[in-house]
Structure 1
Amino acid sequence: MNAIILKEAGDVNQLQLVEIEKPIAAVGEVVVKTQALSINPVDMKTRLGKSFYNEFKSKYDPIILGWDISGIVESVGENATEFKVGDQVFGMVNFPGHGKAYAEYVAAPASHLAKKPSNVSHEEAAAATLAALTAYQILNRHIKKGDRVLIHAAAGGVGHYAVQIAKILGAEVIGTASAKNIDFVQSLGADQVIDYSAQPFENAVKDVDFVLDTLSGETLYRSINVVKNGGTIISLPSAGFNQEMVEAGQQKNIHIAFEMVESSGKDMQQIADWLESGQLKSTVSQTFPLVQMSQAHASLETGRTRGKIVITV
């Protein structure tokens, strides 16, 4: 089968198309014939030698990046009773771990997958995996109906799902975005959208209960000024997150932490239900064939993606 391997840490040219053995389903696994997969900032960071790179380099040869898949069950391993051959499934597989999603076939724990809704394309389903799960798992843990929620980079991969999910959970939603994405974020259901290039967001919003910070660094520090006493800021894993930020929040009785998504078929099923009902929708801004993975990574590196970038297989 065709797969994209990471030769060494570095630029997009380190991603190489090769022919390797098709995987075999182990106990509790299914092999999925991939129809689409999506890429995320963690893929790019690992490619650059950050995130999981050192761990992967010491354990795996070859390194195959990616975690987000949608496809058709090709074979079923022992005790993988959740699915049968021919089922259309999607999920974020083996995260955190070696997902090996950049391939025509992927062996995945059945417990990490859900059935793909019939009204959703494989591209839309693949998009709604790591990013949607990140938004759901964090928001479901930390917010309640009626909370005022601020979502940074609300037009991005995690952000555009977070706006929708926070609304589903009954929150009042404020998003930050560039001027060109204000209408888009409003269309997702945001109650207020702040153009971060026109004014500092802390001048436009106060007294929020919860901040989802996808940017870290200076944005996280500035977010402390808009959170209520006793409120919470959750930052996605970033090299810019440090103990000083936690302590700065503690001085104002604000809980600050970073959290990382984990594979969960149960949570994927919730995403599937919302996709099927139309309450949650994926925005796929660009698609590339598997052979153009380098170009897809180059586009992701611009940091200007609306919604998700998806690879068709």
Structure 2
Amino acid sequence: MRVITQHTLGGPEVLTIVDAPEPRIQPTEVLVRVKAIGLNPLEARLRAGEFPLLGAPPFTLGWDISGVVEPASQTWRFRPGDEVFGMPLFPRAANAYAEFVAAPALHLVRKPASLSHVEAAALPIVGLTAWQGLVDLAGVTKGDRVLIHGGGGGVGHVAIQLAKSLGAHVITTAGTGKRDFVASLGADEIVDYTTTDFAEVVRNVDVVLDTIGGDTASRSLAVLRPGGQLVTAVAEEDTDLIARFEAAGMRFSGIAVDPDPVALRGLAGLVEQGALRVSVQETFPFDRIADAHRLLEGGHLRGKVVLTV
């Protein structure tokens, strides 16, 4: 099979396609013939060596996959030919930039017929981050006021729709070029961060979902109601920030997203109900992985970037 690997840290040009044996399957695992791979900004940072989650190269990136179960699989949970998607093994290496991936059966769920492989591959990491933040950590319910930072991005555009499905009043920050996009997702209020400071115009929020970090996370303190909650996917280990929120009587929660079939099935159910759609800005064929990473690391994406196999 073909695998995209890297033998050194660096720019997109270090990503190389090589031939490799198909992965060996252990009991309770499935072998997935990959149809599409969702790309995430995290992977560009790992490729460049910004932090050593996977150790030193050589390694193969990737977690988000959608594909078809192969006969070699050793589980009763799926049959050969089943279409599945998921985020296996995160944060351990899943070696998902490949034509075949070995994955624990519990880390995958059946793909809804209404969702293409490209859309399904785009959903797991961003969808699970949004679900675990809004449902599991914050317990968002009908009538809550929720501020979602970066509503036009991967996590943000799913989070808007998820929060709306929970009955929340959704406020989001987005650039001028994404205003119509986030409005189409159901956002009730939109703050254009290029012209307006959200901390000056937003008040009495129950939950803030942060995927930006830094100054954005710290200034979110001002918009929360007494006892409100910040849920962050990027500043979960910022001890100074945690201390500030706790001193102000606010709740602070950090997301370290993990595989979760219950949440994945919940997301799939929303897709089937028409309450959730996944936005894919651009797809690239497998052999254009370097071009895909150049777009990925440029930032300001509308939704996701996906690699087709």
Query: TM-score, normalised on structure 2?
Result: 0.96
Alignment of 1:82 onto 2:81: no
Q: Tell me the residue number matched to 1:56.
A: 55
**Residues 117, 276 of structure 1: 8 Å contact kept:** yes
How far apart, CA to CA, are the structure 1 residues paired with 2:94 and 2:50?
16
Q: Tell me the residue number matched to 2:115.
A: 120
Gaps of 5+ in 1: none
**Residues 4, 60 of structure 2: 8 Å contact kept:** yes
Letter in 1 for 2:220: S
Q: Tell me the residue number matched to 1:41.
A: 41
Q: Tell me the residue number matched to 1:275.
A: 271
Q: Tell me the residue number matched to 2:87.
A: 92
Alignment of 1:231 onto 2:228: yes
Alignment of 1:264 onto 2:260: yes
Using the TM superposition, give the Cα deviation of residue 237 of structure 1 relative to its aligned residue in structure 2, in angstroms. Answer: 3.0
Q: Deviations over 1:39-79 (max 9, x none)?
A: 1122112112134x35432xxx741111000001113433x
Which of the residues 290, 295, 300 maps onto 1:299? Answer: 295
How far apart, CA to CA, are the structure 2 residues paired with 1:257 and 1:192?
24
Q: Tell me the residue number matched to 1:135.
A: 130
Using the TM superposition, give the Cα deviation of residue 11 of structure 1 relative to its aligned residue in structure 2, in angstroms. Answer: 1.1
Q: Tell me the residue number matched to 2:32.
A: 32
Using the TM superposition, give the Cα deviation of residue 274 of structure 1 relative to its aligned residue in structure 2, in angstroms. Answer: 1.2
Q: Deviations over 1:214-270 (max 9, x none)?
A: 0110001111110111111111135x9511111111221112232111112222111
Following superposition of structure 1 onto structure 2, how do residues 183-198 of structure 1 map, counting pairs within 5 Å? 183-198=180-195
Q: Tell me the residue number matched to 1:253.
A: 249
Query: TM-score, normalised on structure 1?
Result: 0.95
How far apart, CA to CA, are the structure 1 residues paired with 2:165 and 2:72?
35
- Percent identity reads 41
Distance 1:25 1:204, change over 3 A: same
How far apart, CA to CA, are the structure 2 residues paired with 1:214 and 1:304?
13
How far apart, CA to CA, are the structure 1 residues paired with 2:142 and 2:24?
45
Distance 1:235 1:103, change over 3 A: same
Q: Tell me the residue number matched to 1:181.
A: 178
Q: Deviations over 1:86-124 (max 9, x none)?
A: 001111111121111100000011101111111111001
**Residues 210, 231 of structure 1: 8 Å contact kept:** yes
Q: Which runs of 4+ in 1 moved over 2 A?
A: 53-57, 75-78
Q: Tell me the residue number matched to 1:312.
A: 308
Deviates more, 1:255-264 or 1:101-110: 255-264
How far apart, CA to CA, are the structure 1 residues paired with 2:6 and 2:233?
24
How far apart, CA to CA, are the structure 2 residues paired with 1:12 and 1:67?
18
Deviates more, 1:211-220 or 1:269-278: 269-278
- SS of match in other structure, 1:297: helix
- SS of match in other structure, 1:203: helix
Q: Deviations over 1:190-222 (max 9, x none)?
A: 111110111101122101010001011000111
The root-mean-square deviation of aligned C-alpha atoms, in Å, is 1.4
How far apart, CA to CA, are the structure 2 residues paired with 1:131 and 1:299?
18
Letter in 2 for 1:277: Q
**Residues 233, 256 of structure 2: 8 Å contact kept:** yes
Which of the residues 65, 69, 81 maps onto 2:65? Answer: 69
How far apart, CA to CA, are the structure 2 residues paired with 1:55 and 1:163?
31
- SS of match in other structure, 2:71: strand
Gaps of 5+ in 2: none
Alignment of 1:221 onto 2:218: yes
Distance 1:18 1:28, change over 3 A: same
Alignment of 1:163 onto 2:160: yes
- SS of match in other structure, 1:75: coil
How far apart, CA to CA, are the structure 2 residues paired with 1:35 and 1:269?
20
